[in-house]
Structure 1
Amino acid sequence: MVKVLLPAQLEIRLGRIDQIFQTLDPSPFRERGLDPDAAAYIIGWARDQNRRVPLEIHLNTQDSGPERDAPEDVTAAIHCYFEDRAQGAWHDLRELFRFGRVDLAIGILILILGLFGAEYLVIRFGERPLFSLIAESLIILGWVANWRPLEIFLYEWRPIRRDAKLFRRLATARIKVKGGLRASAVAPFRQQKPLADQPDSG
């Protein structure tokens, strides 16, 4: 039996639908950025969802009218915002790997020079304390020079890739609008709580 995963749904309560966007952004509507608090609220919610389920964002407003798909320009603006964030994250990831490769090449060169330098000092001066200390310091320096590239390739790239994939999911989320919200139900984004959704098990 195939298990059907229902969409994860986020409800956002607004006085007007344009309150989800930056009010001072002079860009055309479809290119307008999201309000920073709204974007943080949506991203925080999306991180908690199962990565295999589709996402839906419901904009509940005081305007009258039944639940429906959001107007095309609203959907396009939200999708474009998160697509831009996704492309920015992928760009950051490519840049991180580029710097990592350069740092790794430098680190390996320093390590090789340190190992040869340490071996030369041992052969040339034997076990004299001062030169033994210098030899050990050269080896340590070589390994320390590789700490940063190793950190990049083992750990640092993972959260950037995770965010890029998350933004791409949000860039394809279904956006719906529902009117008839009471004025007393409208609240700042920081005070709104997401509906109970399917937790991330992946």
Structure 2
Amino acid sequence: MLPETEPVHDIESMYHRKNGKVMIEIKLSSIPQLFNSFDPSPFYEKEIDTSAEQYIVDTVKDFPAKTQFGILIYLPAGKSDCTEAQKIIPAIHTHFAYRALATDRKLRARFRFGRWALLVGLSFMVIAMIARQFAGALHNQFLAQLLSDALLIIGWAAMWEPITVLLYQLWPIVKEKKIYEKISRMEIEILPVKE
């Protein structure tokens, strides 16, 4: 019979805290393991490995926005004090600061598109409403009502895209940017692997 394990009550119980911060722990067998091996940039500017980035970002997303974090990088004994290991800290900060800037550009481009779509949608809706007034003047009442309703629906359908962009699509990008900014400022420690 297997021993009973205590159920996990919340996500916070899976992470340990240090100085009131939730610690994101990453254990590496070597320093290059943290970086994207296909990135030709100098070591301190290298892109973080996709899996490591996703782990850090997903951990931050699992907690309320006001939660404070720190990152602990564990390296094999003897490697945690070397010069290359100390470059990990600015490399992580630079990586996520760049991600925040790229996300900000994405946000601004989407907002510009939303404003353009709103201008087009409103213009089309005004034209549809004016045409609707003329449709009401038709002698055939059934045809006048049908055309009037169709123009009303088409006018409102033209507003669908700007409403979607400005009310719903921008907020996830804003949240993503805040997460990257938060990670870019996190305190990071490099420690030897616990024996």
TM superposition score category, shorter chain reference: 0.7 to 0.9
Scaled by the length of structure 2, the TM-score of the pair is 0.83
Task: Specify whether residues 66 and 18 from structure 1 end up closer, same or farther in structure 2 by C-alpha distance, changes over 3 A only.
Answer: closer
Contact kept, 8 Å, 2:27 with 2:193, in 1: the verdict is no
2:136 is equivalent to residue 115 of structure 1: no
1 CA distance for matches of 2:193 and 2:181? Answer: 31
Give per-residue Cα distances to partners, 1:125-182, cap 9 Å, x unaligned.
1452223212211111110000110111111111100000000000011111111346
Aligned: 1:177 with 2:190: yes
Scaled by the length of structure 1, the TM-score of the pair is 0.80
Q: Which residue does the alignment assign to 2:148?
A: 135
Question: Which residue is 1:9 aligned to?
Answer: 23
* Higher normalized contact order (CA 8 Å, seq sep 6+, divided by chain length): 1
Count of equivalent residues: 176
Separation in 2, partners of 1:168, 1:37: 19
Equivalent AA in structure 1 for residue 101 of structure 2: Q
1:91-147 alpha-carbon deviations (Å, 9 max, x no partner): 111111101111001111111111111111112x14522232122111111100001
Q: Does 1:28 align with 2:42?
A: yes
Instruction: Give 1:151's match in structure 2, choosing from 164, 177, 181.
Output: 164
CA change 1:103–1:180 in 2 (3 A) is closer
Instruction: Give the deviation of 1:16 after TM superposition.
Output: 1.2
1:38 aligns with 2:52: yes
Determine the structure 2 residue equivalent to 1:198. none
Q: Give how far 1:63 is off.
A: 2.4
Q: Secondary structure at the match of 2:133?
A: helix
CA displacement 1:13-69 (0-9 Å, x = unmatched)? 1101221111222101121001111111110001123322432111112223789xx
2 CA distance for matches of 1:144 and 1:101? 16
CA shift in 2, pair 1:121/1:50, >3 Å: closer
Distance 1:17 1:126 in 2: 80
Residue identity matched to 2:153: I
Between the aligned partners of 1:85 and 1:133, the Cα distance in structure 2 is 51
**2:87 alignment partner, SS class:** helix
4+ runs deviating over 2 angstroms: 49-54, 63-67
CA distance in 2, matches of 1:30, 1:17: 11
